[in-house]
């Protein structure tokens, strides 16, 4: 090989420099993502649609802290992975330091707030926001993800269960999704649970040699969670396991029947799933999950919930029943993509201000039009008329407002209807809002 030419050496240096420049110094942490426009606008619309449904059903918004005393989340279950492996825990700078954790879900925070504020019952609240779990990231599974949800505290009425479940069903419908399966089960109450757990435990131990290594470990911690395993080798054992619905107490069976009757009256499509156990330990009686058929099994749980009649008491309050659900916004949007509904919309621009005069008139025109309630975009950097008109065209604006030096001298602006073959006229600056709103109303 000969000596490399000077140009080859320079080329190499430039390539290396470009590589170095192209590689960002920092990236979003593993398991988190930046949500850019227009996706961010779609998420806001989704949360808006949920808020609308929830508020029309009498749920008010609760905004609670993103971190809580770590003890709040310990009540989710001492053997639960969300608590033992997935909590983002830290100490503050207090003296002595306080143990805090980023919230992995919101039901415990809602119950903590309920105990703290003693609101009148039934307390019906909805929420939205980021949750944090130190999980292994993959498609549809993140370390920071967003949920929307509702909780009703202070009533045992099975119609509260029906109201909550139905809200989820109607929300998916409102988004245009039609391949969401609703799975329903009852996990019984503290009276009926022990005989069932005993039966399940001895059954699973009798067949433990057929279980996967992971499920054998889970069996030591919480036999119920073995039923949650998606591993193929566990399925024959799981499918023969005793089911909770055969062990329900009279009161639990009656409650479950009333919930099913309510769903039937509303013609809600659901399947009883006797092995649905859910991932958190606080559930009693009704449990349910929304499963997206359009997504792969690993991330097809788009939401879930149930009753947690003992959680408020565990957090230091008086015995208070509760029922609610949380839906995973990230997974719902993946489902919308898979089903081809609730698409991103380009930003809604009504007016584009083109400025070739380089003065402050464009600044004032934008402000005036925005204060009149219009959505207004503009170009910067004194680009040519042609370049700015091209951007106006691409923005989808109904009207463009052109301010050149002639207009500046005359105290006018040129208002152009972008839809009508570009017909345009000059109007006095004072008539700008009237001229623009006239065209927008005509073309809307």
By CB under 6 A, name the binding residues for ligand HAM: 105-107, 133, 135, 140-142, 145, 147, 149, 151, 279-280, 301-306, 308, 324-326, 328, 330-331
Closest distance of CB 107 from ligand HAM, Å: 4
Closest-CA residue to 364 (of 429, 271, 419, 415): 429
CA–centroid distance for 35 within its chain: 12
Query: Given the complex with ligand HAM, which of 33 and 207 has the nearer CB atom?
Result: 33
Phi first, then psi: give them for residue 168, nearest 5 degrees: -60, -45
Question: Whose structure tokens read 């140009």?
Answer: 7
Query: Given the complex with ligand HAM, which of 276 and 413 has the nearer CB atom?
Result: 276
Query: Given the complex with ligand HAM, which of 77 and 140 has the nearer CB atom?
Result: 140
Query: Given the complex with ligand HAM, which of 119 and 396 has the nearer CB atom?
Result: 119
Query: Given the complex with ligand HAM, which of 247 and 308 has the nearer CB atom?
Result: 308
Name the closest residue to ligand HAM (Cβ). Answer: 328
Query: Given the complex with ligand HAM, which of 196 and 283 has the nearer CB atom?
Result: 283
Query: Given the complex with ligand HAM, which of 105 and 407 has the nearer CB atom?
Result: 105
Closest distance of CB 17 from ligand HAM, Å: 38
Closest distance of CB 53 from ligand HAM, Å: 16
Closest distance of CB 359 from ligand HAM, Å: 50
Measure the CA–CA gap between 417 and 442, rounded to whole angstroms. Answer: 10
Closest distance of CB 290 from ligand HAM, Å: 7
Measure the CA–CA gap between 137 and 382, rounded to whole angstroms. Answer: 45
Measure the CA–CA gap between 187 and 79, rounded to whole angstroms. Answer: 18
Closest distance of CB 441 from ligand HAM, Å: 42
Query: Given the complex with ligand HAM, which of 223 and 324 has the nearer CB atom?
Result: 324
Closest distance of CB 216 from ligand HAM, Å: 24
Half-sphere exposure (CA, 13 Å, Cβ side) for 288?
A: 30
Closest distance of CB 210 from ligand HAM, Å: 27
Measure the CA–CA gap between 364 and 306, rounded to whole angstroms. Answer: 54
**Quick one: CA torsion of 36, 39, 42, 47, rounded to 10 degrees?**
-60
**Quick one: CA torsion of 244, 250, 255, 256, rounded to 10 degrees?**
30
Contacts of the segment 208-212: beta carbons below 8 A, 24+ positions apart: 210/236, 210/237, 211/237
Q: What string of H, E and C letters represents the secondary structure of 55-80?
A: HHCCCEECCCCCEEEHHHHHCCCCCC
Measure the CA–CA gap between 44 and 49, rounded to whole angstroms. Answer: 9
Residues 27, 92: contact at Cβ < 8 Å? no
How many beta carbons lie within 10 A of that of residue 270, not counting itself? 17
Closest distance of CB 21 from ligand HAM, Å: 33
Query: Given the complex with ligand HAM, which of 148 and 349 has the nearer CB atom?
Result: 148
Question: Whose structure tokens read 């909780």?
Answer: 151
CA–centroid distance for 321 within its chain: 25
Query: Given the complex with ligand HAM, which of 168 and 242 has the nearer CB atom?
Result: 168
Measure the CA–CA gap between 81 and 241, rounded to whole angstroms. Answer: 23
Apex 308 CA angle, 302 and 312, nearest 5: 125
Closest distance of CB 75 from ligand HAM, Å: 12
Closest distance of CB 82 from ligand HAM, Å: 7
Query: Given the complex with ligand HAM, which of 106 and 224 has the nearer CB atom?
Result: 106
Closest-CA residue to 77 (of 229, 280, 276): 280
């Amino acid at each position: 090989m000969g000596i490399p030419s000077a140009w080859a050496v320079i080329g190499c240096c430039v390539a290396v420099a470009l590589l170095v420049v192209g590689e960002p110094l920092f990236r979003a942490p593993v398991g988190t993502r930046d949500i850019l426009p227009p996706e961010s606008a779609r998420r806001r619309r989704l949360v808006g649609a949920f808020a609308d449904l929830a508020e029309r059903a009498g749920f008010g918004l609760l905004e609670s802290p993103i971190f809580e005393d770590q003890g709040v989340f310990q009540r989710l279950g001492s053997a639960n992975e969300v608590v033992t492996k997935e909590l983002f825990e830290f100490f503050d700078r207090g003296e002595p330091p306080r143990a805090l954790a980023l919230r992995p879900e919101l039901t415990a925070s809602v119950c903590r707030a309920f105990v703290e504020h003693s609101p009148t019952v039934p307390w019906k609240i909805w929420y939205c926001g980021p949750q944090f779990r130190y999980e292994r990231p993959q498609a549809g599974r993140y370390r920071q993800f967003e949920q929307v949800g509702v909780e009703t505290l202070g009533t045992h009425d099975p119609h509260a269960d029906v109201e909550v479940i139905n809200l989820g069903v109607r929300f998916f419908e409102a988004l245009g999704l039609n391949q969401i399966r609703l799975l329903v089960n009852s996990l019984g109450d503290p009276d009926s649970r022990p005989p069932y757990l005993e039966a399940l435990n001895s059954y699973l131990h009798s067949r433990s040699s057929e279980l996967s290594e992971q499920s054998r470990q889970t069996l030591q911690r919480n036999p119920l969670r073995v039923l949650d395993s998606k591993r193929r080798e566990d399925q024959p054992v799981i499918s023969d396991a005793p089911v909770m619905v055969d062990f329900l107490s009279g009161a639990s069976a009656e409650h479950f029947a009333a919930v099913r009757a309510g769903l039937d009256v509303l013609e809600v499509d659901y399947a009883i799933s006797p092995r649905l156990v859910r991932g958190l330990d606080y559930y009693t009686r009704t449990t349910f999950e929304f499963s997206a058929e359009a997504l792969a099994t690993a991330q097809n749980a788009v939401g879930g919930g149930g009753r947690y009649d003992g959680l408020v008491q565990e957090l230091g309050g008086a015995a208070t029943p509760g029922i609610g659900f949380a839906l995973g916004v990230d997974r719902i949007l993946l489902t919308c993509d898979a089903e081809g509904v609730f698409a991103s919309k380009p930003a809604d621009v009504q007016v584009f201000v083109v400025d070739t005069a380089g003065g402050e008139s464009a600044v004032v025109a934008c402000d005036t039009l925005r204060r009149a309630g219009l959505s207004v975009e503009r170009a910067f950097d004194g680009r040519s008329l042609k370049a700015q008109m091209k951007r106006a065209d691409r923005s989808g604006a109904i009207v463009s407002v052109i301010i050149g030096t002639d207009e500046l001298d005359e105290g006018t602006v040129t208002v152009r209807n972008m839809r009508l073959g570009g017909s345009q006229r000059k109007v006095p600056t004072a008539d700008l809002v009237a001229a623009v709103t006239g065209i927008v109303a005509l073309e809307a």
